[in-house]
Structure 1
Amino acid sequence: MTIAILSRGRCGLSTCVTRYLVAVAAADLLIVILDLILRHIPIVYWEHFLYVQSIPICNIHAVLLFAATDCSVWFTVTFTFDRFVAICCQKLKGNYCTERTAAIVLGTVTLLSCVKNIFWYFMLTGRYLLMTHPWFCAVEQKFYSSEVWAAIEVIHYIFTPAVPFAIILLLNCLTVRQIVAASRARRRLRGQNNVDCGQRPRDPEMESRRKSIILLLVISGNFIALWSLYVVYALCNRVLLLGYKSAAVNIFVEQIGFMLQLLSCCTNTGIYAVTQTKFREEVRKAVARPFSVLARCVK
């Protein structure tokens, strides 16, 4: 529903912003399908997936899932960078914040995400391991305790999502600082021009900026908050496997972290509904349309 509503371009957002938000929604939908749905098929039909298959289904599943996860994370980064350029880099804005640039950036991120995660195909077996949390592919025994595997896994978590965390926080801080400074200057200017007015006049430009920064901060903050616990557990678990028992964390932390990470892929629609008035209007129209058609048919 989110993809359909945003794609119609009636939410008061630029085509550039719309492309980024549609891409994020599409990546999140893929994660819901690959992680929340397809991951449970081997659990339900475990007798068919317990042993090695002629086709390495689990390996392919892992590559697609991790690539979709990387896309979801880095699409959020590219959206944050686009808003940073639009607000803080006026000279670059005209050339960068375009629909064509958005398409190139999103396509490049998608390609790099797929290439980056091909190594999982060779690191994992084709067998689903149904006795661990979360249930997924078994690791090749020769890699399980090797330093090479440890290094690759740590690098994986650094790029998704440790580096995005840092980039998003930095860009958001710079963007908010620029908006606050510009808002103060604009208020002073309007105050001087309207010194004789009895009430503060409405400022559409300020309202637009306020809505943009709320959308940006809520999406970025939601991503960071819901991913943090899972990343902390993953890094502690890797340190534990290397022999540092002091890094042991209760399995309950992993379960909650895994749940929150998946929840981050299901909250963007709610975020748009809370922060964007026109999006709410389009949702109401979409929900009411079938009933309107039914009413006309009955008449």
Structure 2
Amino acid sequence: MGKPVILLVKEIYYPILTAVGLPANIMTIVILSRRNCGLSKCISIYMLTMAVADLLVIFINVMLYYIFSYHFPLSFLSQTPVCRTILYLATVNLDFSVWFTVSFTFDRFVAICCQKLKTKFCTKKASITVVTMMSVLVLLKNIPVLFAYERQQIINNIQWGCRTSLAFLSSSPGRAYVWFHSAWVLWLPFSLIVLFNSLTVRCILVANRVRTRLRTHRSEDHSDSETENRRKSIILLFTISVTFILLWLTYAVSFVTTKLSNSTYYRGDRTDPAYIATETGSFLKLLSCFQNPCIYAVTQRKFREELKNVAKYPWRLILRLVRKMRI
């Protein structure tokens, strides 16, 4: 009997995601580090940290865990201490990706709607502080993950593999942590993103009405640069936020329905609808780590220009070397 379709999809999907996700996020980090995209230092820091988090997800969650550990089950990566560390880092990386997106959303809300707070919060120093504190909090919050997995077997006195610890899951602290983690990485970020975006839209609509009335009274025909800048900012914000929610939604729904129904899909049935739904949610969730470079390329003109310059640089370097060799 052949492999279940979902396993064949995983074997094809994850290498493709790695092949396109790694260079895309590396290119994004290089471009944002050059600071030639016309973005403020504050926005650049949040966008840069999101790109770094997405790169870590692609590298550790997808490449190390879903590809190397899967295809090489008796490699160094499959030893229990290493495997447990990879699972911990995988959880941490997803938290980084989620909460840096929330931080970016909140920063844009403050910049657009809270003019008094903007001068203190929307600065390079404040953004670095927020990112640092969020990183430390995420690292500490996920320490229980290290105790949520146990060895699968012992070969030559070496512990191999990782499986979910039933003792941890059946304990009250373990069950509480699972639900806390789902709220932390799913429902709380979703709620905050929707809340901040709703308040931002309301603020922009009110501000645009006021400016439209003022311009009408003054009979101004020239373009309103401030309105145009707000339009570009809101397009970037909404595209990132909405895409993020849509890609994570399937995983969120499947997680809750699986827990509520006490499904045991993880015990080996690869054709169970709950397992397929959960894996599909993982596909889309991890795809979100490739979304931001695409969004930047579509919505930001200067980002596209920098992308072309960075892409042309190796060829320019080769041409210079060829010319020097001819001389």
Q: Give a deviation string over 1:66-110, Cα, whole Å, max 9, x none.
A: 111111101111111111111111011111111000001000000
Report the equivalent of 1:172: 197
- Distance across 2 between alignment mates of 1:146 and 1:95: 44
SS of the residue corresponding to residue 266 of structure 1 reads helix
Q: Distance in 2 between matches of 1:274 and 1:138?
A: 41
* Structure 1 residue 58, shift from structure 2 partner: 1.7
Indicate the percent of aligned positions where both proteins have the same amino acid: 41
Q: Does 1:238 align with 2:259?
A: yes
Residue 10 in structure 1 maps to residue 65 in structure 2: no
- Per the alignment, residue 93 of structure 1 pairs with 118
Is 1:47 equivalent to 2:74 in the alignment?
A: yes
User: Cα–Cα, structure 1 residues 269 and 242, in superposed 2: closer, same or farther, change >3 Å?
Assistant: closer
Q: Please say if 1:113 is aligned against 2:138.
A: yes
Question: Matches of 2:171 and 2:181 in 1, distance apart?
Answer: 15
Q: 2-side partners of 1:50 and 1:211: how far apart?
A: 44
8 Å contact from structure 2 (residues 77, 83) kept in 1: no
| 2:235 alignment partner, one of 191, 208, 214 | 214
Are residue 20 (structure 1) and residue 37 (structure 2) matched?
Answer: no
Residues 70 and 113, structure 1, Cα contact 8 Å, conserved in 2: yes
Q: How many residues align?
A: 282
In structure 1, what is the equivalent of residue 226 of structure 2? 205
Partners of 1:17 and 1:72 lie apart in 2 by: 16
Partner of 1:132: none
For 2:241, the aligned partner's letter is S
Normalised by the length of structure 2, the TM-score is 0.81
CA distance in 2 between counterparts of 1:242 and 1:276 reads 44
- Describe the superposition over 1:91-141 as per-residue Cα deviations: whole angstroms up to 9, x where unpaired: 11111111000001000000010001110101111449xxxxxxx831113
RMSD (Å) for aligned C-alpha atoms: 2.0
Letter in 1 for 2:42: C
Which residue matches 2:24? none
Asked if the contact 1:237/1:249 (under 8 Å) is kept, the reply is no
Q: Which amino acid aligns with 1:149?
A: G
Q: How far does the alpha carbon of each residue in 1:180-220 deviate from its partner, in whole angstroms, 9 at most, with x for none?
A: 1111111121122126xxxx422211111100000000111
Which segments of 5 or more consecutive residues in structure 2 lack a partner in the other structure?
Answer: 1-26, 154-160, 265-271
2:206 paired residue among 177, 181, 184: 181
- Contact 1:236/1:249 (<8 A) preserved: no
**Distance in 2 separating the partners of 1:47 and 1:3:** 34
Do the aligned partners of residues 126 and 16 (structure 1) sit closer, same or farther apart at CA in structure 2, a change above 3 Å counting? farther
Distance 1:162 1:47 in 2: 37
260-269 vs 60-69, greater mean Cα deviation:
60-69
Shift of 1:64: 0.9
Q: Is the 8 A contact 1:183 1:206 kept in 2?
A: yes
Q: Which residue of 2 aligns with 1:288?
A: 312
